[in-house]
Amino acid sequence: MSAPPEMTDVVRPLYRVEYDALVEQGFLVDEPVELLEGRLLAASPEGDRHATVIRRLTRLLVEAIPADEGDIGVGNPIALSDLSEPEPDLAVFPPASGYRAGHPSTATLLIEVSRSSLRRDRTLKRRIYAQAGVPDYWIVDLQNDVLSVHRDPADVDFRSVTHLQRGDVRPLHHPRLRIAVGELLR
């Protein structure tokens, strides 16, 4: 009997239209997965601190960004390519991007709150977001108490990465929003 193939071996990628069709037909219900580069990957479990930071950021985003400047998404899918439909913890989509015609395909700000997902957020998702031209990608690193701000996407990475433990940060496209980094990470 031969050994089973490695879990990283892919017979063929799963395309976003196929993934969306599976979801529409009721498959993958209650399955915490994301489609990333043609693979279904299990979403990382959330802890108390993760949920607290998401609630704090959600309030700040909703209070600072009027509806005519952006729609706030919490854990909503974004259709970034034929092979990737990640579900960032927080997103600011262009106003009225809605879901009538499908998932939004662009965002002005994507935020991942990371503890167990830190490696994936720093590598795979970072690459996906850069390739899609997302102008502002933040990782709230709960392991190291750091906010990493990624800007200026080019090919498969970001040209500018800043790591903050204190001070203030403002999203590129939403300068009225000011985040006190030390307060966010406490």
Digit-coded pLDDT (tens) for 89-148: 999 998 875 556 678 999 999 999 999 999 999 999 999 999 999 999 999 999 999 999
pLDDT in tens, 56-69: 999 999 999 999 99
The reported pLDDT for the residue numbered 95 is: 85
Domain CATH for 99: 3.90.1570.10
- If you average pLDDT over every residue of the chain, what do you get? 91
Q: Tell whether the model's pLDDT for residue 177 goes beyond 50.
A: yes
The total domain count for the chain is 1
| Segments forming the whole domain that contains residue 141 | 47-185
> Would 35 be classed as within a structural domain?
no
> Would 150 be classed as within a structural domain?
yes
> Would 62 be classed as within a structural domain?
yes
The reported pLDDT for the residue numbered 169 is: 96
The reported pLDDT for the residue numbered 30 is: 85
> Would 9 be classed as within a structural domain?
no
% the chain with pLDDT above 90: 79
Q: Which of 72, 104, 78 is nearest to 91 (CA)?
A: 72
> Would 142 be classed as within a structural domain?
yes
The reported pLDDT for the residue numbered 100 is: 63
% the chain with pLDDT above 70: 92
pLDDT in tens, 35-51: 999 999 998 888 899 99
Q: Which residues contact 5 (CB under 8 A, 6 or more apart)?
A: none
Query: Does residue 137 contact residue 110 with C-beta atoms inside 8 Å?
Result: yes
The reported pLDDT for the residue numbered 62 is: 94
Average pLDDT over residues 161-172: 96
> Would 176 be classed as within a structural domain?
yes
Q: Tell whether the model's pLDDT for residue 8 goes beyond 70.
A: no
> Would 155 be classed as within a structural domain?
yes
Helices (H), the chain: 16-24, 48-64, 118-122, 124-131, 181-185
End-to-end CA separation in angstroms for the chain: 54
The reported pLDDT for the residue numbered 1 is: 47
> Would 100 be classed as within a structural domain?
yes
